[in-house]
Amino acid sequence: MDMVQLSDSSVVIEGLSQMLIDRIGTDCDGDIYYARSWVSVTTACFVVTVAKLAEDKPEWFPRGKWATIQAIETRIHDAIMTPAD
């Protein structure tokens, strides 16, 4: 249960990244590191939480807000239910 794939689409990852930047900003050095294709389960849960509170903008959610959230939640569930090696 180490990593979760947020999406295999660079367009979705870019949208999620922009949503997070617009909602919470960047880190103290100005680096943008929130949304990558593969993230920790904790980061995926954070992305879902912020996404649920965000507006449903097509530039943030090119495949739809709730479709994106549900896809990530399914991946989180699968990661949690997969026994650790």
Single pTM value for the model = 0.85
Total domain count for the chain? 1
pLDDT in tens, 24-73: 876 555 555 567 889 989 989 999 999 999 999 999 999 999 999 999 99
Q: Which residues of 28-67 are buried (b: 16+ CB within 10 A; e: fewer)?
A: eeeeeebbeeebeeebbbebbebbeebeeeeebbbeebee
Q: What integer pLDDT is reported at residue 21 of this predicted model?
A: 87
- The parent domain of residue 24 ranges over 3-81
| Length of the chain in terms of residues written | 85
